[in-house]
Amino acid sequence: MRTPYGNLLAKVMSAPGVRGALVVAVRDGLVVDGRVHVGVEGEAVAALAASLYRRACRATGAAEGKGRFVELEADGGRIMIAGKNDLAMMAVLQRRANTGQARVAVQRAADELAALEGLA
């Protein structure tokens, strides 16, 4: 089944070191669509990342409709999440990933996601 997010997910997944790409509903952390490598628990990671993303945006006073980006780092890798309103693009990266390329891919995908949702 094709979704409108397939091309965005493929672009993010093509960045070196990306182990998962997901479109996440920011409000509840549910996965709208995604692609992950074996061993990546996409739904659990999405729920946690969306919760932290919401809190970070609230804490910094980030206005809805403006581009927002949060990066989380742990021993096993990184999570990047970016969005403008109700949906966000998230990437799960391995420890030695090229973070610059991944960040650009996530931010571009988030902009395209907003355009798909009519929010750009």
The CATH number that applies at residue 37 is: 3.30.450.30
Q: State the residue range of the domain holding 51.
A: 6-116
**pLDDT tens track of the chain, all 120 residues?**
567 899 999 999 999 999 999 999 999 999 999 999 988 888 998 998 899 888 888 887 755 556 689 999 988 899 999 998 789 999 999 998 889 999 999 999 999 998 887 754
Instruction: Examine residue 21 and state whether it is found in any structural domain, yes or no.
Output: yes
Q: Exposed e or buried b for every residue in 4-42, given b needs 16+ CB within 10 A?
A: ebeebbebbbebebbbbbbbbebeebebbbbbbeeebeb
- The count of structural domains within the chain is 1
Instruction: Examine residue 1 and state whether it is found in any structural domain, yes or no.
Output: no
